[in-house]
Structure 1
């Protein structure tokens, strides 16, 4: 049995058990990642699946995030995404591995030929139903536009990013799974107490939140006051948990997608 036999559903007990208890072997390294990011294979009771393993010892120090905390933030992001609904983040756990403790996340195989929902397109050829976000030119001076689809799955991901204060929502961190779900990955720089939202998903900025997202935020707020608050407190500081609650409350109060900050960067680099 392979990973294709177990759908990456966040409520799947079998998936979480495999992530948590499976024998983890490393297959190779994803060399484009800034921190040590390894592709691995998990095996348990005759079942095998691929995963992304990010050992804490491979995290590069950041000036604005405490050392050795990125793996915990990956797990906290999954817990919040699960409560928000929509299966936005592949199941993720904190566990031991060949290079020590780190985050372990279900691998998402994008189907061959899957059309991206975020990217640079020719300035005069923005697809219908897409939001133009920023203008750009290549070395030859050709004009391009950074844009993304007006897709309710992306809208939910944009709300999730605002909730977790995601400082690095690149277009390449948005995956389309074989089950036609949208997944956000790479959430190590999240949950800062200062406003650091940097994203390519600004298309809905300032617009009214759809009713389903308003309802999802209400559920998330209730969960934070109950079991979820205790769960994320194992991975974040008390100040970061308080800031998380405040961001949820602010989104519910305004009822709108957040606006880009007036000072400081609004896009990650590189954006894709």
Structure 2
């Protein structure tokens, strides 16, 4: 296992390191649906580990324009940063050994240990939900989630049995649920939750986001219909302001997603503020991603 990455502590920011540093491919994440490469990046005496997803390695999707997933990952980072929650690791769009792609800071998690990378280890595709998300998801018997947990729904566990899928009643997950509703995340799986040092929680894999149609699929439905927190309302209010035409964030996002998708993003933020509650499943799209982990 390589040494853990470190976010630069000097004048060089993580984004600058990812954007300007020399990328060296160290391994390949085998289980990813698209090409995902484990890399090191170095610049002006600083170094870190990162994930590089070249556009050339993206598989076409029927509901997303070809070659746009990397841009959507960067847009998700920009929106997360604007909310003030920093739920997405630093992410940039840049040229690399296999062409333009998304480069994102590698986040070491306690779950790392499975050999999922040729020449390296990876936590991005852990096989076990409890292992991948630090105990934030669970399957329990009965119809009630229990104290400290929120119910998602019943899951088939085989042999004619069902169990209740639950997630922790955790403020970090609750912020992610708001972010996912904002960016219209079509794939919030358990393996996309990365607990890190300092009680941090990150979400990764945001390629299928920002569609103009309702695509929200997530395991974080436990707060559906409940009032947004005051913190979320304040964050969404700030986001709405910086999404106005002519604002730097709006200009940046216009380089990453289409004009129609940017308008839809503004509409989702306005809708959340007007309704004042967490999103509920629309009934027009499968609400749970598959596989859920």
Shared topology, TM-score over 0.5? yes
Match of 2:174 among 155, 163, 169: 155
Aligned to 1:29: 28
Aligned residues: 268
State the 1:264 CA deviation. Answer: 2.4
Contiguous gaps of at least 5 residues in structure 1: none
Cα separation, 1, equivalents of 2:135 and 2:183: 21
Match of 1:255 among 276, 282, 292: 276
Q: Is contact 1:3-1:48 (8 Å) kept?
A: no
3-state secondary structure, aligned to 1:179: helix
Aligned to 2:139: 121
Cα separation, 1, equivalents of 2:101 and 2:48: 18
Contiguous gaps of at least 5 residues in structure 2: 112-130
Aligned to 2:65: 66
State the 1:32 CA deviation. Answer: 1.4
Cα separation, 2, equivalents of 1:232 and 1:131: 33
Deviations 1:159-217 (A, max 9, x none): 00000000000111111012211101000000000011000000000010010100000
Alignment of 1:110 with 2:90, yes or no, is no
3-state secondary structure, aligned to 1:51: strand
Cα separation, 2, equivalents of 1:211 and 1:117: 26
Aligned to 1:56: 55
Aligned to 1:167: 186
Q: Is contact 1:56-1:69 (8 Å) kept?
A: yes
Change (3 A) 1:220 1:17: same
Q: Is contact 1:120-1:144 (8 Å) kept?
A: no
Aligned to 1:192: 211
Aligned to 1:214: 233
State the 1:126 CA deviation. Answer: 4.8
Name which of structure 1's ranges 117-126 and 192-201 shifts more when overlaid on structure 2. Answer: 117-126
> Which residues in structure 2 correspond to 1:219-258 (within 5 Å)?
219-225=238-244, 226-258=247-279
3-state secondary structure, aligned to 2:198: coil
Give the ranges of 4+ consecutive aligned residues of structure 1 lying more than 3 Å apart after TM superposition: 2-5, 112-115, 124-127, 140-143
Aligned to 2:41: 42
Change (3 A) 1:110 1:69: same
Q: Is contact 2:152-2:164 (8 Å) kept?
A: yes
3-state secondary structure, aligned to 1:202: coil
Alignment of 1:91 with 2:90, yes or no, is yes
Change (3 A) 1:117 1:85: farther
